[in-house]
Amino acid sequence: MALIPLLAMVRKDLRVFFSERRSVIVSFVVPIVIASFFGALFTGSSQDSRPAKIGIAIVDQDGSAISKAIVSSAQADANLAVTMPSAGAAHDAVRRGKTSVAITIPKGFGDAAGKAFFSAAQKPELAFAYDPSRRIELAMVRGILTQHVMQAVSAEVFGGGQGRRILDQTLSEVRSSSMADEDKRALVQMMTAVQTFYDRPSTTGGGTATGPRGITMPYDVREEAVTAGANAPYNGYAHSFGGMAIQFLLFAMANLGIELLVERERGLWRRVRSAPVSKLTLLTGKAASGTLISLMILLVSFAFAIVAFRVRIHGSVVGFFSVSIACALMASTFGLLVAALGNSPATARGVTTLAVLMMVMLGGAWVPTFIFPAWLQQVTLIVPVRWAVDGLDAMTWRGIGISGAVVPTAVLLAFSAVFAALALTRFRWEEA
Amino acid sequence: MLTIQHLRKTFGTLVAVDDVSFDLEPGRLLGLLGPNGAGKTTTVSMIAGLLTPERGEILIEGARLAGDTDPKKGRIGFVPQDLALYEELSARANLQFFGALYSLRGKALDRAIAAALELVGLADRERDRVKSYSGGMKRRLNLAAGLLHDPDVLLLDEPTVGVDPQSRNAIFDNLEELKRRGKALLYTTHYMEEIERLADTIVVMDHGRVIANDTLDGLLSSMPAAAGSPASLESVFLTLTGRSLRD
């Protein structure tokens, strides 16, 4: 392969690329801006470990000890940001999207819940008015509130004033009920035992000294984010910068392929082909310049993320570069494929834009693939972007060593080989 | 210098070039004439190595031209009909690239660029971007790009399309200078007066075949004068190819 023409191809493509200010801005600046935005979403601006609170509104129409305990418990929950507006204001807040869920505790809820705790009495309703665009938060609020309601009702039933009154009332109703004698006797016996529990003298550390605890979760959760190391918190910018850089280097390479179609239309390719240079040299030159430009886009993006957002290569530096080079080569050969299969610049532009967007969407460049359904996660393994994103994630915030780069690099090189072979065989070499 | 023997090329059922043969000697200019679709560009494309002939041979000083990387391709220069230039780059950057495709580098490349720009009168604008050039300047640079590697044979496919009379005249001067230097020039055009001024030999093609191959005087003498006025190349051309429109 002739080296001088090859290097000339590379130098010329770099000159043309950097002479177009707009393409430079789109390729280098835009991904940084978008990745910064997505990174802020994934990481949170403060980068601390506190979870984002779900905003809910509680309208307490009951005012009972139980409803007050529910409100108090919810307000103390680290996952909830509780407000207590009027019923009308709560609905309005949900309608305007300012609050996910408005919960109304109706009048008589405390008494009814206490009775339903022991008997088959009618269960009272908690009214949930929710924003339909935030169903995931609704499910979370429902689960969190179940814990608080159970704790508040059981605590009151087993020790509070309202609970005693409910128990006395329920005991009286059971005695006069028409249930089977055996059942009635057992139930009265249990309730009487609870009354005895109420009436016993206070003991140190007992329920009455510190207030009734009620039914609580019988376990605590110890959470640990598994990242590169104990002192390396998850940094969402690592993922977003990798994803966005891949997206825009693919766009840049698709454009390089389209530029080749433009060169063909402008007769430039006729002049190039008239020189004593082999087909392999011409395509290798294009692939080499594309790989260099892609690599620059990727490395500039990561350099910015390292300086501005403290993204670090916690895994293998060699692995990071091997994935980056393989990714750049894959993108470059994708550009050659565009040039080989495209009929005209206009049609190629539309088709490749769609193809790139599909690849980056399915490859997890926008959002991590773990939020995809299981079947889709398997399907996306055929998308090269998926391997590039996973490989860069492994080398950055996951902190996996060189072993984590081997498979992504190999798969990306395989995609490059397939794209290059297709381009070489499908390229229109004859110039009428 | 350049010998074309029995070239043939088809595109599907269309026979674009059929049994085309002619010779071109050093220091001579061969004018290739023909209506649209006659097969001129296809013939030039085969000589330039852009199309593979189905039959026939292209010989440079008796040696057959074969393959993309045949060093004999370096003895041919090609000036395409389109302005085949990178508009975003300077004239110098364009010539550096096209020269490097012929493995020119270093001082040899610098000398070639200087000589080519000097010949076409663009030496003082070498660092300007091509997109700032006028149409005539681009045409002259287009010619310079084909001359960089000092070819023995120069293929010129309608090199004066869309240029003003001054630039056209400058290009003619350049071509006459190249003839004096012993270059063999193959020139296609639709302008009869260009052929009358420049060509030593005229080949007329129609429907993919050579229908005349002679000097200007030879062609004119083959036609009787009409109504007392002497025959012109245009009248000869129309007599040979007919007056029906070719789209």
Mutate to test the interface with B, among A17, A256, A262, A270 (most CBs of B within 10 A): A270
Q: How far apart are CA A205 and CA B2, in angstroms?
A: 112
Q: Check residue B78 and give its pLDDT.
A: 95
**Which tens digit of pLDDT belongs to each residue from A56-80?**
999 999 999 899 999 999 999 988 9
CB contacts, 8 Å: B96 with chain A? 8, 11
Mutate to test the interface with A, among B17, B90, B101 (most CBs of A within 10 A): B101
Q: Where are the alpha helices (DSSP H) in A310-400?
A: 317-341, 345-362, 374-379, 384-395
For A181, the enclosing helix (H) or strand (E) is helix A181-199
Q: How far is residue B228 from each of residues A282, B223, B225, B232, B234, measured CA to CA in Å?
A: 59, 13, 6, 12, 16
Find the CB nearest B78 among A2, A16, A274: A274
**Which tens digit of pLDDT belongs to each residue from A334-357?**
999 999 998 889 889 889 999 999
**Can you tell me the mean pLDDT for A220-225?**
70
Compare all CA atoms of chain A with the CA of B156 and give the residue at the minimum distance. Answer: A271
Find the CB nearest B68 among A7, A266, A276: A276
Tell me the shortest Cα–Cα distance from B127 to chain A, in angstroms.
14
Length of chain B: 247
Find the CB nearest A278 among B50, B68, B86: B68
Find the CB nearest B70 among A19, A271, A276: A276
Find the CB nearest A276 among B42, B69, B105: B69
Q: How far is residue B151 from each of residues A104, B20, B60, B79, B178, measured CA to CA in Å?
A: 91, 23, 12, 12, 10
Q: Check residue B227 and give its pLDDT.
A: 57
Residue with tokens 């402008």: A266
Work out how many CB contacts closer than 8 A connect A with B: 101
Q: Do A8 and B41 touch (CB under 8 A)?
A: no
**Chain centroid to CA A400:** 21
Q: Do B88 and A430 touch (CB under 8 A)?
A: no
A123: three-class secondary structure by DSSP: coil
Q: Do A277 and B52 touch (CB under 8 A)?
A: no
Q: How far apart are CA A430 and CA B42, in angstroms?
A: 11
Q: Check residue A208 and give its pLDDT.
A: 47
Q: Check residue A206 and give its pLDDT.
A: 44
Tell me the shortest Cα–Cα distance from A430 to chain B, in angstroms.
5
Compare all CA atoms of chain B with the CA of A270 and give the residue at the minimum distance. Answer: B50
Is the Cβ–Cβ distance between A261 and A348 less than 8 Å?
yes
**Side chain identity at B114, as an amino acid letter?**
A
Is the Cβ–Cβ distance between A256 and A292 less than 8 Å?
no
Q: Check residue B220 and give its pLDDT.
A: 86
Q: How far apart are CA A425 and CA A347, in angstroms?
A: 21
Tell me the shortest Cα–Cα distance from A352 to chain B, in angstroms.
24
Q: Do B97 and A268 touch (CB under 8 A)?
A: no
Q: How far apart are CA A73 and CA B187, in angstroms?
A: 93
Of residues A228 and A324, which shows the higher confidence score?
A: A324
Q: Do B69 and A270 touch (CB under 8 A)?
A: no
Q: Do A267 and B82 touch (CB under 8 A)?
A: yes
Length of chain A: 432
| pLDDT tier for residue A46 given thresholds of 50, 70 and 90 | very low
A275 touches chain B (CB under 8 A): yes
Per-residue burial over B147-186, b if 16 or more Cβ lie within 10 Å, else e, is bbbebbbbbbbbbbeebeeebbebbeebbeebbeeebbbb
Q: How many CB atoms lie within 10 A of CB A214?
A: 20
**Can you tell me the mean pLDDT for B85-96?**
95
Compare all CA atoms of chain B with the CA of A429 and give the residue at the minimum distance. Answer: B50
Statement: residue A52 has pLDDT above 90: no
| pLDDT tier for residue A82 given thresholds of 50, 70 and 90 | very high
Q: Do B101 and A277 touch (CB under 8 A)?
A: yes
Q: Check residue A321 and give its pLDDT.
A: 97
- Phi/psi of residue B17, nearest 5 degrees: -140, 135
Tell me the shortest Cα–Cα distance from B177 to chain A, in angstroms.
23
Of residues B129 and A116, which shows the higher confidence score?
A: B129
B100 touches chain A (CB under 8 A): yes
Q: How far is residue B23 from each of residues A268, A319, A389, measured CA to CA in Å?
A: 28, 61, 61
A5 touches chain B (CB under 8 A): yes
**Side chain identity at A329, as an amino acid letter?**
L
| pLDDT tier for residue A220 given thresholds of 50, 70 and 90 | confident
Q: What pTM, to 2 d.p., does this model score?
A: 0.76
Of residues A196 and A1, which shows the higher confidence score?
A: A196
Is the Cβ–Cβ distance between A62 and A105 less than 8 Å?
yes
Q: Which two tokens stand for residue A81?
A: 């940001």
Is the Cβ–Cβ distance between A287 and A378 less than 8 Å?
no
Q: How far apart are CA B100 and CA B107, in angstroms?
A: 12
Nearest CA-CA partner of B44 in B71, B86, B82: B82
**Side chain identity at A371, as an amino acid letter?**
I
Q: Check residue A246 and give its pLDDT.
A: 95
